[in-house]
Amino acid sequence: MEIYILDNRLFMIVETPLDFDWDTAMQRLSTLPRQQEWEDFVALFQACPEGSTSNEKWRMMERMFYLYE
């Protein structure tokens, strides 16, 4: 995973196996002990309401271009 910041914009790249289940991963993430603390901190940069969950902040994007070697 990589997270980039520019002003109040964050861009996250998550490399996963092809069978990765985003919904299941987000559910598990919400149960981690310090996850809400992290979510509240990054909300300062994401212009999100405090208390927003990972699933409410991080959205899937459709890839429109991919270059490989």
pLDDT digits (tens, 9 = 90+) for 12-48: 788 889 999 988 998 898 899 998 898 888 777 777 7
d(CA 4, CA 11): 5
| Phi, psi angles (nearest 5°) of residue 10 | -120, 145
Entry pTM: 0.56
In tens, the pLDDT along 5-14 reads 766 667 778 8
Is 41 or 60 the better-scoring residue by pLDDT? Answer: 41
Per-residue pLDDT band for 69 (boundaries 50, 70, 90) equals very low
pLDDT of residue 21: 92
